[in-house]
Amino acid sequence: MENQEDFILIAGGTGLIGERLKKVFLENGCRVGILTRTPKDKDHYSWDPARKTIDKKILGEVTVLINLSGAGIADKRWTKEQKEELYSSRIGTNEFLFSQCSHMPKLKQFITASGINCYGYDHPNREHLESDSFGKDFLSDLVEKWEESADLFNEKYIVSKIRTSVVLDQKGGALQKMLSPVQWGIGSALGTGKQFMPWIHAEDLANIYLHVVSHELNGSYNALAGNVTNEFFTKSLASTLHKPFFFPKIPSIAMKLLFGDMSSVLLEGLQASNQKLKDTGFVFQYENLDDALSNLLLSKSK
């Protein structure tokens, strides 16, 4: 990176993605701090956006602020209370961080995590561009308001929005949830299996954040390596692990009974383009799904 004095502060940085970001920024000569409700390490700093509290003494050094905060989309059924939490844990944290800008005189860039599922599911065979309009469903509305809250920073700072697809990481997240039935030899497609699933290797995602910072990129970027159907992904997973794939598809009605409205995340699909990111010079390490799965599940040096 050109500026070795950057201090990257990551809100919500104790999860899998946060750990990846911390590692890649440290390897590139940056200082890194993590905002967390339960500080445990020397580079951890206390905050509680719900209570409007934050360790202000560290803010004066921050040059790049990254917000990864947000309740998991698929963690719980979408009750009214859970939907409110999905909004507040994203929008509320962006708004709170913006309220602290007066304590960050060196700040030059704000980056927010965002969601690839912002385009809706009306055109599943179209590769959506960042310039496309938002969809009309719940997730699209959530992402639209999420990004609008990031735009509070627009007047003074570079604002970057990373529209994240399904992140593949061997330590947890979506891959681990999909892995269990396949490991037991009972992997099967969901619904029709034809719904598209944009995906990305966790290492590539971390490098996208590094790229966005080092090139001071403004605007929204689709963060995905490729688009595959649910059936293709599950078959590839089974093939990588040398497991059978012969069970019938899980009916959509069963998924809806199990997960309610949240089943749309699993049963509805969309595609997106990563060309805008590539045009900035970013190079993916893992654009082939089989290569990504082999690296994550079979390599001893992950």
Q: Supply the pLDDT for residue 300.
A: 52
Confidence (pTM): 0.94
Do you know the residue count of the chain?
Answer: 302
Report the CATH superfamily, name and number, of domain 7-297.
NAD(P)-binding Rossmann-like Domain (3.40.50.720)
Alpha-carbon distance 248 to 11, whole Å? 42
* Bridging pattern class, strands 158-164 and 166-168: unpaired
CB 166 within 8 A of CB 197: yes
Q: Supply the pLDDT for residue 2.
A: 47
Where along the chain do its domains lie? Answer: 7-297
CB 235 within 8 A of CB 178: no
Beta bridge partners of residue 32, listed in sequence order: 8
Q: Supply the pLDDT for residue 174.
A: 85
Q: Supply the pLDDT for residue 189.
A: 84
Q: Supply the pLDDT for residue 18.
A: 95
CB 243 within 8 A of CB 183: yes
Residues of the chain short of pLDDT 50, as ranges, are: 1-3, 301-302
Alpha-carbon distance 292 to 179, whole Å? 14
Q: Supply the pLDDT for residue 249.
A: 81
